[in-house]
A = this chain, B = another copy of it.
Amino acid sequence: MSLQKGFRFDQEGAGYEMAFIHNAWYVACWAEELKSEPSSRTILNENIVLWRGQDGRVRATENVCPHRLLPLSKGRIVGDDLQCGYHGLTFDGNGGCILAPTQSDAPDCAIKHYRVHEHMGMVWIWMGDPTLADTNNIYDLPQYHQDGWGVAYGDALEVEANYLLLCDNLCDPTHVNYVHPSTLGNPDGINAPVTHRDTSWGVLTERLTSNSAPTGFVKTFGNYQNKVDMWQRYLMYLPSVSIIDFGATAVGTGSWKRGGEGRIQVYSCHFMTPITETRTIDRWLHVRNFRVKDYSVGDSISEQFRIAFGEDKEILEAVQCEEIRNNGRKKIGLDLDASAGLFRSKINRLLRAEMSARVR
- A residues at B contact (CB < 8 Å): 9, 47, 64, 66-71, 74-75, 83-89, 100-103, 107, 109, 168, 174-175, 177-179, 190, 314-315, 318-319, 322-323, 325-326, 329, 331-336
Which partner residue on chain B sits nearest A311 by CB separation?
B85
> What are 12 A-B pairs at a CB distance below 8 A?
A67-B333, A69-B322, A69-B323, A69-B329, A70-B319, A74-B315, A87-B174, A101-B190, A102-B174, A102-B190, A102-B334, A102-B335
Return chain B residues, CB-CB under 8 Å to A89.
Answer: 334
Q: Is B315's CB under 8 angstroms from A69's CB?
A: no
Return chain B residues, CB-CB under 8 Å to A9.
Answer: 67-68
With A86-B179, A318-B70 given, is the CB distance from A326 to B64 under 8 Å? yes
Cα(A89)–Cα(B337), bound, Å: 14
Cα(A55)–Cα(B140), bound, Å: 55
New contact pairs (14) apart from A67-B331, A88-B178, A101-B190, CB-CB < 8 Å? A67-B333, A69-B322, A69-B331, A70-B315, A70-B322, A71-B318, A71-B322, A74-B318, A85-B179, A86-B319, A87-B174, A88-B177, A100-B334, A109-B332
Return chain B residues, CB-CB under 8 Å to A178.
Answer: 75, 83-88
Q: Is B87's CB under 8 angstroms from A175's CB?
A: yes
What is the count of identical protomers in the complex? 3
With A326-B69, A331-B66 given, is the CB distance from A315 to B86 under 8 Å? yes
Cα(A97)–Cα(B89), bound, Å: 59
Return chain B residues, CB-CB under 8 Å to A107.
Answer: 332-334
Cα(A89)–Cα(B70), bound, Å: 49
Return chain B residues, CB-CB under 8 Å to A67.
Answer: 9, 331-334
Chain B proximity of A336: nearest CB distance (Å): 5
Chain B proximity of A162: nearest CB distance (Å): 13
Q: 6 tightest CB-CB pairs across the interface, nearest first?
A: A69-B322, A109-B332, A102-B174, A103-B335, A66-B332, A102-B336
Return chain B residues, CB-CB under 8 Å to A334.
Answer: 67, 87, 89, 100, 102-103, 107
Cα(A331)–Cα(B107), bound, Å: 12
Q: Is B315's CB under 8 angstroms from A103's CB?
A: no
Q: Is A314's CB under 8 angstroms from B102's CB?
A: no
Return chain B residues, CB-CB under 8 Å to A175.
Answer: 86-87
Cα(A9)–Cα(B314), bound, Å: 47
Cα(A47)–Cα(B322), bound, Å: 10
Return chain B residues, CB-CB under 8 Å to A83.
Answer: 178
Chain B proximity of A187: nearest CB distance (Å): 11
